[in-house]
Copies of this chain bind each other. A is one copy, B any other.
Amino acid sequence: MTRFKLVLEYDGAGFVGWQRQATGVGVQQAVEEAVYAFSGETPTVVAAGRTDSGVHALGQVAHVDIEKTVPTGRVRDALNHFLRPRGVAVVGAEAVSDDFHARFSATERGYLYRILNRRAPPALDRGRVWWVPMALDADAMQAGARHLVGRHDFTSFRASECQADSPVKTLDHLAVARDGDEIHITARALSFLHNQMRIIAGTLQFVGQGKFTPEDVARALNARARSAAGPTAPPEGLYLTHVAYDGT
């Protein structure tokens, strides 16, 4: 048995999220079916984080145990052969030690939220960005974002159905920058609460529009109530960009 670490890119649009749902196919299922197609085995594929329906990944990490003896490069190429029509790509595959765990060994997760901020809707990036046609002040959004960096009780910034034991998380990095017609929100933390990035994006968009002042973000945080923060931004602007592990 060899444990493989897989780095996955996927288009969230075709999936109900990482996990299978009654309503449709999960990315996990697509990868497990590809593992079965080339190995005849049915192991569980475990991801660093369970992305929601419609959320994309540039660098999701998963692990899977395979009994069949296969060279590492062949694992990547064989999985891609079966995954290619499904909007999932195995960007990297490497053999790792048996104690590597995609979820529990992770030391950092990174996200990017893309807002297309122009009057015209996206043509080439449909389903890849959140389209916000009204002018947004990226500097004000950045000023608001500063209040969220650090260790806080993020009760205001998690979905009501969030199952994490504690709402206390440490946000190591959160920044807002304009890049032409786009506004990019980047974040890094050991882990995130359910919908945390999307509620942060929705709240910062309120700041960009002038519905909130930057200081209102601190007030929303301190209120410790979901209703105090802004709306949950749509999933299509969100990307899991990377997962880091000790020594990587």
Contacts and interface: CB of A to CB of B under 8 A. Distances in A.
Interface of A: 9-11, 56, 58, 73, 76-77, 80, 83-84, 87-92, 118-124, 126, 128
Contacts of A87: 123-124, 126
Per DSSP, chain A at the interface is mixed
Contact of A10 (B10, B76, B123): B123
Cβ-closest 3 pairs across A and B: A89-B123, A89-B120, A9-B123
A240 to B, nearest CB: 12
Contact of A120 (B11, B80, B122, B126): B80
Contacts of A122: 9, 89
Contacts of A119: 73, 76-77, 80
A80 to B, nearest CB: 5
A127 to B, nearest CB: 10
Contacts of A56: 124
Contacts of A73: 119
B76 A91 contact: no
Given A76-B119, A77-B119, A119-B76, A58 B89 contact: no
Contact of A11 (B83, B118, B124): B124
Given A87-B124, A91-B120, 5 more contacts: A9-B124, A80-B119, A80-B120, A89-B122, A89-B123
A56 B122 CA distance: 13
Nearest to A128: B124
A72 to B, nearest CB: 11
Given A91-B118, A118-B91, A124 B58 contact: yes
Contacts of A77: 119
A234 B92 CA distance: 26
A206 B76 CA distance: 25
Contacts of A83: 123
